[in-house]
Structure 1
Amino acid sequence: MFSPFHDRQGMPKELADVKYADLAQLVDYDEGFALEFKQSFSPSVRRKIPKVVASFANSRGGWLVIGISDAEKGVCPIPRPKADVSQIIGELCRRHVSPAPRFDARFVANPVAPEQGVILVQVFEGDFPPYVADGVVEIREGSTSGPAAGTALVDLYDKATRRRLEVRMFCKRTVHYPMGGDGLPLFNLYLFRMGRMTGDSFSRERDGEHARAMRCAFERQGLDCRVQHAHDSLVFRIPARDETVVPHSAIELFPDESIKLSVPAVLLDGEDRDSALDVLASRALFPPAVDAQLIDAPATLGRVTRMASLLDRYARARGIAWREYAVAYELENMAGVTLWSDNETYLTYAERHGVLYCATTDCLSRVRYLDDGAHDTFRARQFAGSHFFEACGLPLGSPDPEDNALVDALLRTS
């Protein structure tokens, strides 16, 4: 994405890296398709901000700089707002723009006079246009904003359709497991990063930076990892002496920092499986010698939440907000797989209501778009853990005290 600010090597700077001295670089730019200046933060300017933000979101994104002279392009410092500028801009957009566009905003203070400075607003190209400001679809026309014509509206709707298709195709990604083949029960978590258009180019240096951050997340979690290079991604796995015997979790990381997490269920086998089946048969929950796949519910949940915690660590290290992502989960090859726990609360519950098992064959959830403002407290760990158990039949959110006791028992034993 275009940035009017560059480092000494000529590389574009991101908003978080812009210094007050960098504002001098704006003298080389005129207002245009992706850049607009405002000299003050007056009430009249505030009224125009939703229109400008929507027009950038409906186009290719852009920068709004408040505190710059339109004519001379010199810095005209404005007083530091009393509230956080992100909250101010966000509130203006929530009131006047639908859907809510993605943007970042900063007040860049003058180091000599910290109570004065410039407001920078970076607006990202919208994933699901059109963005409507006070009933009007605004787009960039040269250095100004204006209503979209009929053909422009069609193009905007086509862009939204293509983006939804990209998300659906991403949620079909698969990671190969040498052991288990096509029948290995997996919990998959898809995190598709929005605001990155297909075809964006990424440097080898940036890919290496992403890989180092992921390795660091493994280390801080107390886990080893090895990296495999795929044709368009990196795959991080917990190393094993023989992966054809013990399948381990995998994280697939893409250049735009979209992520897929695949966690194999912990299946009971050998004496552990025989012992569990004996317990179930003794309580008349299963007939003797039944052939069934059992997963260790606490161990699998522990594996799921531990691996999802890696993603939270990675996002924090990279300074990524989860609101930039579309999220879905999937239970793959889990239909009919029975949850096992030796917890007495679970066994008593199973005697009254039956054992818990995955009851569906099409287990891909609906996609959630986290930038809609309804998921401000999203964490990959909590999302993965709760939805794994929920999809396997655990009655989360039930008003029944017996259901709640079961949930508490299984979550506690994980």
Structure 2
Amino acid sequence: MFSPIHDDQGHPKGLADIAFADLSQLRDLDEGYALEFKRNFSPTVQKKLPKIIASFANSAGGWLVIGIADDDHTLCPVPRLAADYSQIIGELCRRHITPAPRFDARFIADPDNPDLGVVVIQVLEGDFPPYIADGVVDVREGSTSGPAASAALVELYGKATRRKLEVADFCRRTVFYAAPQTPLFNLYMFRMGRRVTEAPSRDEVMQHAQAMGEAFRRQGLACRTHHAHDSLIFSVPTRDDPRIPHSAIELFGDESIKLSVPAVLVGPGDYERAVDGLGLTAARPDSTEDTSRGGLRIMSAADTLARVTQMAAILDRYVRERGLTWRQYAVAYELENLAGVILWSDEPLYLSYVRERGPLFCATTDCLSRVRYLDDGAHDSFRARQFAGSHFFEACGLPLGSPDPRDNDLVDTLLRGAHGASR
């Protein structure tokens, strides 16, 4: 995306990297399609802000700088307020713009007088336009904002439709597993804002790979890196067959991510105990080495959840390492080959729950959850690890947010049981 500020090598700077001294570069720039100046933060300017921000979101994104004169581009620092500028601007957007646009704002203080500074607002191109400010759809027209014509409105709705199709297509990605019908719990993290046509440079790909490798190392896991035509696949190797990964993370050029975690099915030694503990009358397997043939598929709650949350924690580490935010992502989970797999735990509360209500199991064929868009202001504390852990139980038939305290107690108990389980 366009940035009005560049480093010594001419590379565009992101908002987080802009220093007060960099603002001198703005003197040589004119207002235009992606840049606008305001001298102060007066009530009149605050009233115009939603219209300006919405117009940037409906166009290609842009930058609004408060504390730069509109006419001669001289520096006119504004006072630091008791409240954070981003909070004030965010509240203005929530009250006046539908849906809420994605933006970031910084107060860049004057090092010689920290009580004064310049407010820089970066508005990202909207993924689901039109963004409506006080009942009007505005777009950029040169250096100003104005109501969209009918043809522009059609294009805005078309952009939103295309974006939804991109998300849907991404959620059909598949990672190879040599064992047929491997039961998988998948997480899809689609990064919004970037376009699939934006191919990353070789240097960017290397930076992504290094950050993901570091996330694996910090989590204490080895990984193999496989190069696909449009992605990198990081898999945790197993000893027996290098084609059968413990789990895999697929990383795309735009930093969208897919996590695939195979369920841990109980082995021959635990199968009989699980069947008896669950009170099931099940056909015994034909082979002591294959508990899924002729018998039930039973999944270890502790081991599978431990694997899911450990791998999801790598995603959280990667996002922190890269300086990203989960608010840039759309998230969904998928059950693949998990239909009918029964959840097993020897926790006394689970065994009591089973006797009263029956065992938990995946009671649906392969399915994809609804997509959650994390930029709606309701997911500011989102973490992939917590999301994966809680929705793993939802996939097994335990309702999230149940009014029944026993359901919630069971979730807490199973989460504790997974702590320290073998991965």
Shorter-chain TM-score above 0.5:
yes
Does the residue aligned with 2:249 lie in a helix, a strand or coil?
A: strand
What corresponds to 2:7 in structure 1?
7
Aligned equivalents of 1:240 and 1:4: distance in 2? 49
Aligned equivalents of 1:90 and 1:327: distance in 2? 23
1:28 CA drift (Å): 2.5
Aligned counterparts, 1:219-230, within 5 A: 219-230=217-228
What corresponds to 2:287 in structure 1?
none
- Aligned residue type for 1:6: H
Does the residue aligned with 1:213 lie in a helix, a strand or coil?
A: helix
Q: Is residue 202 of structure 2 the alignment partner of residue 210 of structure 1?
A: no
What corresponds to 2:47 in structure 1?
47
Aligned equivalents of 1:97 and 1:330: distance in 2? 32
What corresponds to 2:262 in structure 1?
264
Show CA shifts across 1:326-355 (max 9, x none): 100001000011111222322232222221
What corresponds to 1:192 in structure 2?
190
Does the residue aligned with 1:73 lie in a helix, a strand or coil?
A: coil
Does the residue aligned with 1:334 lie in a helix, a strand or coil?
A: coil
Q: Is residue 117 of structure 2 the alignment partner of residue 117 of structure 1?
A: yes
Query: RMSD of aligned C-alpha atoms?
Result: 1.6
What corresponds to 2:361 in structure 1?
357
- Aligned residue type for 2:358: G
- Aligned residue type for 1:198: V
Q: Is residue 65 of structure 2 the alignment partner of residue 65 of structure 1?
A: yes
- Between stretches 377-386 and 313-322, larger displacement belongs to 313-322
Q: Is residue 257 of structure 2 the alignment partner of residue 251 of structure 1?
A: no
- Between stretches 201-210 and 97-106, larger displacement belongs to 201-210
Does the residue aligned with 2:343 lie in a helix, a strand or coil?
A: strand
What corresponds to 2:288 in structure 1?
none
Q: Quick one: which of 232, 240, 246 aligns to 1:234?
A: 232
1:304 CA drift (Å): 0.5
Does the residue aligned with 2:375 lie in a helix, a strand or coil?
A: helix
Does the residue aligned with 1:115 lie in a helix, a strand or coil?
A: strand
Aligned equivalents of 2:148 and 2:400: distance in 1? 46
Does the residue aligned with 1:114 lie in a helix, a strand or coil?
A: strand
Aligned equivalents of 2:327 and 2:241: distance in 1? 35
1:278 CA drift (Å): 4.4
Does the residue aligned with 1:87 lie in a helix, a strand or coil?
A: helix
- Aligned residue type for 2:170: F
CA 1:80 to 1:235, structure 2 compared with 1: closer, same or farther past 3 Å?
same
What corresponds to 2:164 in structure 1?
164
- Aligned residue type for 2:270: D
1:259 CA drift (Å): 0.7
- Between stretches 160-169 and 111-120, larger displacement belongs to 111-120
Contact 2:277 2:351 in 1 (8 A): no
Contact 1:395 1:407 in 2 (8 A): no
Contact 1:97 1:134 in 2 (8 A): yes
Contact 1:278 1:288 in 2 (8 A): no
Does the residue aligned with 1:303 lie in a helix, a strand or coil?
A: helix
CA 1:13 to 1:363, structure 2 compared with 1: closer, same or farther past 3 Å?
same
Q: Is residue 323 of structure 2 the alignment partner of residue 319 of structure 1?
A: yes
Does the residue aligned with 2:233 lie in a helix, a strand or coil?
A: strand
- Aligned residue type for 1:9: Q
Aligned counterparts, 1:351-390, within 5 A: 351-390=355-394
1:277 CA drift (Å): 2.9
Q: Quick one: which of 323, 346, 353 aligns to 2:350?
A: 346
Unaligned 5+ segments in structure 2 are 285-293, 419-423
Does the residue aligned with 1:105 lie in a helix, a strand or coil?
A: strand
Does the residue aligned with 1:37 lie in a helix, a strand or coil?
A: strand
Normalised by the size of structure 2, how large is the TM-score? 0.93
Normalised by the size of structure 1, how large is the TM-score? 0.95
- Aligned residue type for 2:222: D
CA 1:396 to 1:56, structure 2 compared with 1: closer, same or farther past 3 Å?
closer
Aligned equivalents of 2:243 and 2:223: distance in 1? 18
Unaligned 5+ segments in structure 1 are none
What corresponds to 1:98 in structure 2?
98
CA 1:405 to 1:107, structure 2 compared with 1: closer, same or farther past 3 Å?
closer
CA 1:286 to 1:212, structure 2 compared with 1: closer, same or farther past 3 Å?
same
- Aligned residue type for 1:310: I
Query: Aligned residue pairs: how many?
Result: 409
Aligned counterparts, 1:70-85, within 5 A: 70-85=70-85
Aligned equivalents of 2:30 and 2:333: distance in 1? 45
1:234 CA drift (Å): 1.0
1:244 CA drift (Å): 5.5
CA 1:304 to 1:271, structure 2 compared with 1: closer, same or farther past 3 Å?
same
Contact 2:282 2:295 in 1 (8 A): no
1:356 CA drift (Å): 1.2
Does the residue aligned with 2:75 lie in a helix, a strand or coil?
A: coil
Does the residue aligned with 2:108 lie in a helix, a strand or coil?
A: strand
- Aligned residue type for 2:204: R
Contact 2:337 2:366 in 1 (8 A): no
Aligned equivalents of 2:408 and 2:41: distance in 1? 52
Aligned equivalents of 1:61 and 1:355: distance in 2? 51
What corresponds to 2:400 in structure 1?
396
